[in-house]
Amino acid sequence: MTNMPLHTDLQFAKELQELKDRLLAMGGRCETMIDEAIHALEERDVALARSVMKADKQMNRDELEIDELVVRILALRNPVGRDLRFAVTSSKVVIDLERIGDEAVNFSERVVELIEAGPLPAPANDLPEMGRLANQMLRDALDAFVTEDAKKALTVRSQDDPVDEYYGQILRAAERYMTEQPEHIRQGMNLASCAKYLERIADHATNIAEMVVFLVRGEDVRHPKNQ
Could you tell me the mean pLDDT of each successive run of 10 residues in the chain, 227 residues long?
54 92 96 98 97 94 95 91 92 96 98 94 95 98 94 94 97 95 94 98 97 91 64
Residue 9: name the closest of 88, 65, 79 by CA: 79
Cα–chain center distance at 83? 23
Tell me, yes or no, whether 227 lies in a domain.
no
Predicted local confidence at residue 38, as pLDDT: 98
Tell me, yes or no, whether 174 lies in a domain.
yes
DSSP conformational letter for 218: S
Looking at residue 132, which CATH number applies to its domain?
A: 1.20.58.220
Tell me, yes or no, whether 223 lies in a domain.
no
What residue numbers bound the domain in which 184 lies? Answer: 3-217
> Please, where are the H alpha helices in 44-80?
46-54, 56-77
pTM for the full predicted model: 0.92
Predicted local confidence at residue 223, as pLDDT: 67
Tell me, yes or no, whether 41 lies in a domain.
yes
Predicted local confidence at residue 2, as pLDDT: 42
Residues 34 and 104 sit within 8 Å (Cβ to Cβ): yes
The count of structural domains within the chain is 1
* Burial of 45 from C-beta contacts in 10 A (0-12 / 13-18 / 19+): middle
- Give the dihedral sign, CA 146/37/129/166: negative
